[in-house]
Amino acid sequence: MSEEIAVVGSPDFTTGFRLAGVRRFENVPVDEKAERLDDAVTSALDDEGVGIVVMHDEDVEQLSRTVRQRVETSVEPVVVTLGGGTGSGNLREQIKRAIGIDLMDE
């Protein structure tokens, strides 16, 4: 069984992924993020069919401390954040966490 990509975020964020063929997504309207974002992320992380969870970088900052810690330490599924101030250092850490080695280490 292959694992799917899940996208969590506002409808504006998830639309492009849906058009690209991502079937698993959690739409959380901007005005409801305070109430629904933690539950949407937890649902994606708990789904055994999901291998990668994609979120906007700013949404991670809005998570409760418990869920944010789970996102930052999750190995399976891997959580990838996009946008905001995400630099190559953050991507490097995400890759290292996902596969267990630092590909950019000299």
User: Pick from 60, 105, 64: which is nearest to 85 by CA?
Assistant: 60
How far is Cα 90 from Cα 49, in angstroms, rounded to an integer? 25
Tokens 């899940």, located at residue: 6
Q: Which two tokens stand for residue 45?
A: 């992380």
Q: In percent, how much of the chain has pLDDT > 70?
A: 77
pTM: 0.77
Q: How many CB atoms lie within 10 A of CB 67?
A: 18
Mean pLDDT of the chain: 85
Average pLDDT rounded to a whole number, residues 9-24: 90
pLDDT over 80 at 52, yes or no? yes
Least confident of 50-54, 57-61, 79-83: 79-83
